[in-house]
């Protein structure tokens, strides 16, 4: 669910002191976009929102969430936004966030 080598790489890139702030910004931005996804009942901006979520997820190692966003983005791009299973995508984000927060300290050595 989480690609821990990517998380460690990000921590090394930004530095241990800045890492917590980067994680907080990531989670805040993702929550904002998820709120936009919920508000976009016509799914007009779904492709763009899933693209953003995919990139954000990749940068922090949320591997499964990123893959689902990528699949949804492709579906939306091909005119099938209504078929994207947003509940699955959002459930995987919630589960990924929980695993990330629970296991972060154990995986950063």
Contacts of 56 (CB under 8 A, 6+ apart): 26, 29, 30, 33, 62
pLDDT value for 109: 72
| Reduced 3-state DSSP string for 62-97 | EHHHHHHHHHHHHHHHCCCHHHCCHHHHHHHHHHHH
- pLDDT tens digits, residue range 10-63? 999 999 999 999 999 999 999 999 999 999 999 999 999 999 999 999 999 999
- pLDDT tens digits, residue range 70-84? 999 999 999 999 999
């Amino acid at each position: 669910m989480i690609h821990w080598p990517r998380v460690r790489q990000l921590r090394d890139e930004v530095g241990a002191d800045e890492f917590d702030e980067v994680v907080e910004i990531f989670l805040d931005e993702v929550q904002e976009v998820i709120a936009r996804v919920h508000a976009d009942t016509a799914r007009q901006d779904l492709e763009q929102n899933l693209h953003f979520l995919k990139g954000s997820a990749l940068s922090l190692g949320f591997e499964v969430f990123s893959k689902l966003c990528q699949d949804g983005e492709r579906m939306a791009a091909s005119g099938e936004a209504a078929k994207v299973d947003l509940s699955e995508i959002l459930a995987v984000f919630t589960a990924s966030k929980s695993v990330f927060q629970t296991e972060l300290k154990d995986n950063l050595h």
